[in-house]
Amino acid sequence: MTVSASKFYSSGTDATDVALESAFFAKLKMRNGTFKLTQPSRFRELEVAFRPYIEKRANALCELLDVGVSTGLTTVELARFLKDCGAAASIVATDLFIEAHIVELAPGFRVFCDPEGWPLQYDVRGITVRPWVRRLDYVTLAFIPLMIGRSVLQPRLHLRIRAGMSKPVQMITRSLPADGEIVFVENDIMLRSERFIRRFDMVRAANILNTGYFSPDQIHIAIENIHSYLRGPGALLMIARTNRARENAGTLFELNRDGSFAVLERVGGGSEIERLVLDFRAPAIADG
Ligand SMILES: C[S@@+](CC[C@H](N)C(=O)[O-])C[C@H]1O[C@@H](n2cnc3c(N)ncnc32)[C@H](O)[C@@H]1O
């Protein structure tokens, strides 16, 4: 049975149990229809292949951006890998959905939801119920109470959150290193963030800029934003995707002096968006 958010965020569960943590987050369907999916140790072969390049640049890797991190489980592994390579880097980990709330609407009835009141999990006296609709629900008509429930509850949940009548939590892994080297920030890679401009020595985008999910135009916008977030020539960009067989295809790029990207190394034939990255040219900055 799925553990409830109240229990998960209490001291009653084993914070080192990564399987329980992944199972809890994997059942949460976000407002945009995606699930909080990630898996431990998914990038081993990338680490092996990219290691010499990271080790060579270890002293220059101070600030990193990890885009679309889900719960940040693989960000923790990235931090470990960097340390192992001799880099003392701090990491900004971003995702569209990080903040969440537990709201008690009635005695014995709690809802785990996002800051807009979008329900992620119902908890009726410890028994969890998913708020999202799956295909079978259209056959059994279970979609009717689920959809009515959501539209009735969302505004009430939002009001309670705004009134401070909720327990705020973050949908992030509990296996974070204690030294605070990873900072989580809610951020959309499709929207330019001024505070990230020319800040990072390396950016990683793993299992996010997929051609099946984003259009080439959207991927181009993301590359443009990532490009603007890189500190300058010599900065690194790692793009990867894991397939169903848990094999990775990824490319490690370096930023050239002229603002274009060059391939340093490939795994599994390289990233599916490698051509889009190599063809990218930064727009000229207009003279003031
Ligand atoms: C499949 S997970 C990848 C997690 C992790 N990087 C990994 O490879 O295990 C993709 C994540 O990207 C996030 N995401 C989707 N669109 C995004 C966007 N426009 N900006 C930032 N994050 C986004 C989703 O919320 C989701 O958590």
Pocket test for ligand 1, best of 43, 95, 225 (most atoms within 8 A of CB): 95
Q: Which residues line ligand 1 (CB under 6 A)?
A: 34, 36-38, 42, 67-70, 74, 94-97, 188-190, 206-208
Give the span between the Cα atoms of 259 and 18, in whole angstroms.
Answer: 40
Atom 3 of ligand 1: nearest residue by CA position: 207
Separation of 67 CA from ligand 1 center, angstroms? 7
Q: At 79, which amino acid appears?
A: A
Atom 20 of ligand 1: nearest residue by CA position: 188
Separation of 141 CA from ligand 1 center, angstroms? 31
Tokens of 83: 């340390």
- Per DSSP, the residues of 130-151 read --S--HHHHHHTTHHHHHHHHH
Atom 9 of ligand 1: nearest residue by CA position: 38
Atom 6 of ligand 1: nearest residue by CA position: 69
CATH 3.90.870.10 fits 44-97+176-279, yes or no: no
Separation of 109 CA from ligand 1 center, angstroms? 30
What pLDDT does residue 287 have? 53
What pLDDT does residue 268 have? 95
Atom 25 of ligand 1: nearest residue by CA position: 96
Report the chain (288 residues): mean pLDDT per 10 consecutive residues: 91 79 92 85 92 97 97 94 95 97 96 97 95 93 92 96 97 86 96 98 97 95 98 97 90 96 97 97 67
Give the span between the Cα atoms of 288 and 271, in whole angstroms.
Answer: 37
Separation of 36 CA from ligand 1 center, angstroms? 8
What pLDDT does residue 93 have? 98
Boundaries of every domain in the chain:
5-32+99-170, 44-97+176-279
Separation of 33 CA from ligand 1 center, angstroms? 12
- Burial state string for 110-123 with b = 16 or more CB within 10 A and e = fewer than 16: bbbbbbebbbbbbb
Tokens of 90: 């701090």
* Ligand 1 atom showing the smallest separation from residue 188 Cα: 20
What pLDDT does residue 14 have? 76
Atom 26 of ligand 1: nearest residue by CA position: 70
**φ, ψ for residue 65, nearest 5 deg:** -120, 125
Indicate if the alpha-carbon torsion angle 65, 71, 72, 77 is positive or negative.
negative
